[in-house]
Structure 1
């Protein structure tokens, strides 16, 4: 009886796998199916075209400052449970580090979009 159930389950699973492979076959590969989809329009240029490095740098700077702001927000909640002088010193160090980083990037010309 056990052998019969095992054989039946094996045959059923093999039949299901064969049916899935026959159903999932793609019919014909044509140009529309192989081209990338861009809002319903045909792409006019290569997808490998280079992009502006200034845009990339501004995006990275935005992410860095966004994460640092997310780090600063919980500091406001901890003000109730810490000593005011320690809390104020910590906040000032973090903000001073952010300002120094921004000044350094400004001096290096990273923030200039057009040259």
Structure 2
């Protein structure tokens, strides 16, 4: 019974995959439809310029420190149920690791916004 259901589900998946590929194909290539939209006029410059690597690194650093903040927030609830000394040592070591990471990023120059 399980083999039959697996075979039917794989068969339905393959049929859907083939149908979707056949129906979603574009029959012609239109330059205007593939270009960025600017009120029907030809674009003045190339819209897909390379992005700044420095901005990308700064965004990654922001995400890392944002995730670290979300890891710190539940510690308030955990404080009620744990030993105060163990809790203090864990939080202090966690914050020290964050501060050392921040100083390392500052030393590497990733936080300097220069053009």
Offset of 1:54 from its aligned partner? 1.2
TM-score normalised by L of structure 2: 0.66
Structure-2 separation of matches of 1:111 and 1:27: 48
Q: How does 1:8-23 map to 2 (within 5 A)?
A: none
Offset of 1:30 from its aligned partner? 2.4
Structure-1 separation of matches of 2:28 and 2:39: 23
CA contact (8 A) 2:36 2:47 kept: no
Offset of 1:51 from its aligned partner? 1.7
TM-score normalised by L of structure 1: 0.66
Structure-2 separation of matches of 1:41 and 1:73: 51
Unmatched 5+ stretches in structure 2: 1-18
Unmatched 5+ stretches in structure 1: 1-16
Query: Does the alignment pair 1:80 with 2:73?
Result: no
Runs of 4+ in structure 1 off by over 3 angstroms are 24-29, 36-43
Match of 1:114 in 2: 114
Instruction: For residue 112 of structure 1, give the secondary structure of its aligned residue in structure 2.
Output: coil
Q: 1:108 to 1:82 in 2, by over 3 A?
A: same
